[in-house]
Amino acid sequence: MISIKDLKNYQLIVNSELFQKEKEFIQHGDTTVYEHSLLVAEESLKIARKLKWKIEEESLIKGALLHDYFLYDWHVKEKYHRFHGIKHPIFSRNNASRDFSLNKKEENMILSHMFPLCPIIPRYKESWILFMADKISATKETLSYVRRNNKFLNKVKEFVWNE
Ligand SMILES: [Fe+2]
Ligand SMILES: [Fe+2]
């Protein structure tokens, strides 16, 4: 079984200048958009292989890596990205198709990853896998941040386990 790093879209996208810029933008907790996108791509491949679904791995990885390719810091208030949650799939699709050209499936993956908040239905197996992987990764990132930063929780742990 080939590793994610052997996929040609992985190398092409991860090494590109603008994708590297995602290291500057925070997504959830203290995870950057860059880290989040890599985690979602890995999670997507894991889910696809676990379910043994027949899918196109190159497209899966491309859509997953680029699903949050909106290229701004959504914590900074700017008029054009108000309602970020609803609008960012469209910004990401536009940027991704400009920089990497997308097929119909990859476009649907990116546009539907916030379904039903953004009312575009996931129409391919790859879209549903990305949808799941994104939610799983976002939850893991947020929980690990809360765990590391929650003073109350740390006090309880200290008390219970004498850590
Ligand atoms: Fe997103
Ligand atoms: Fe995401």
HSE at residue 123, side-chain half, CA atoms within 13 A, is 10
Q: What is 51-113 written as a DSSP string?
A: HT----HHHHHHHHHHTTTT-S-TTS--GGGTTHHHHHHHHHHHHHHHHH---HHHHHHHHHT
pLDDT in tens, the chain (163 residues): 889 999 999 999 999 999 999 999 998 888 899 999 999 999 999 999 999 999 999 999 999 999 999 999 988 888 888 899 999 999 999 999 999 999 999 999 999 999 999 999 999 999 999 999 999 999 998 888 888 888 777 777 777 776 5
Q: Which domain, by its residues, includes 41?
A: 4-161
Closest-approaching ligand to the CA atom of 84: 1
Closest-approaching ligand to the CA atom of 111: 1
Please give the tally of structural domains in the chain: 1
Q: pTM here?
A: 0.90
Measure 98 CA to ligand 2 centroid, in angstroms: 19
The answer to whether the CB of 28 falls within 8 A of the CB of 138 is yes
Measure 162 CA to ligand 2 centroid, in angstroms: 36
Name residues with Cβ closer than 5 Å to ligand 1, which is an ion. 68
Q: Residue 64 maps to which CATH number?
A: 1.10.3210
